[in-house]
Amino acid sequence: MIQLKVNGVAQSFDGDPQMPLLWYLRDILGLTGTKFGCGIALCGACTVHKNGEALRACITPMSSLAGAEIRTIEDISANGLHPVQKMWMQFNVPQCGYCQSGQIMQAIALLKDKPKPTDQDIDDGMAANICRCGTYQRIRAAIKAAAEESA
């Protein structure tokens, strides 16, 4: 039995230990904000946080999560909008929106590690998150504005 917390709630899992976290979140817990993209950790659509660090849920087996604290997009605005979410709206970042939960989760992790990121920090930190609509300039502007608001 694997014990973990998801969005602050204690959970137990006794299924296939190789099941990816993504399917546990979506199919068992019903948390569908985390998206399936490529299935091989190259696009970032499935990004969540494990103990505060960005993680690709599509390749993370449940067996590696004993005692972990997982945070999904559903928990980000539980107490009001996060500065990244506010700036995402202000800068009209999404077009199709499919990648946005992963983008936001990655951006929050980036700002945790680099509260005042440079353009290069943002480009490097967000490089593994693909936006098929190409809104990268708006993503960068929103992250910079969120950093300023959080300062």
How far is Cα 135 from Cα 89, in angstroms, rounded to an integer? 13
DSSP 105: H
Residue 151 above 80 pLDDT? no
Which pLDDT band holds residue 84 (cuts at 50, 70, 90)? very high
Domain that includes residue 131, residue range: 83-150
Boundary (domain end) residue, out of 76, 108, 139: 76
pLDDT of 79 reads 73
Q: What is the CATH number of the domain that holds 44?
A: 3.10.20.30
Residue 52 above 80 pLDDT? yes
Q: What's at 140, amino acid-wise?
A: R
**What digits encode the pLDDT tens for the residues 18-49?**
999 999 999 999 999 999 999 999 999 999 99
pLDDT of 112 reads 96
Count of structural domains, the chain = 2
Contact 108, 122 (CB under 8 A): no
